[in-house]
Amino acid sequence: MTLNVKERRNKTGTVLVATGEINSETSGSLLQTLLPLVREGKPLRIDLTAVTYVSSAGLRTLLVVYREAQHAGVAVTLYGVSEEVRFVMSATGFLDFFSAGEAEAAAAKAAAKAAAKTTTQARAAR
């Protein structure tokens, strides 16, 4: 399978939308696309919604991007990470390297739900 990438730029940074698989055949070209974007010094959002598979070569590519971003002081955020890809990235510790847009949204939602539950329980105890 191939990997297609589309780039969108706006005032706050760049969004790269990836579609397909990130594997040994596609990771090199993805790296060649991502590194110049990181070196621009603007925040980078990588949308992985349509990525169905990430191999060890793909993980290495993401690690190189992470290290380059850390060196440049650039924020890199992953969005749309599927459960399958999230599992692989989590199991290998790679998910911890990146800010994940969904993780932030899910944490806020969970906190709001917990606060609502606490409020409901406090009212019921009265």
Residues 6+ apart with CB under 8 A from 30: 3, 5, 18, 22, 58, 61
pLDDT for the residue numbered 81: 86
80 φ, ψ to 5°? 65, 35
Q: How confident is the model at residue 106 (pLDDT cuts 50, 70, 90)?
A: very low
More confident: 88 or 120: 88
Pull the structure tokens for residue 11.
């005032």
Give the SS3 label for residue 38.
helix
pLDDT for the residue numbered 67: 94
pTM of the entire predicted model: 0.75
Q: How confident is the model at residue 12 (pLDDT cuts 50, 70, 90)?
A: confident
| Contact present, 117 and 110 (Cβ < 8 Å) | no
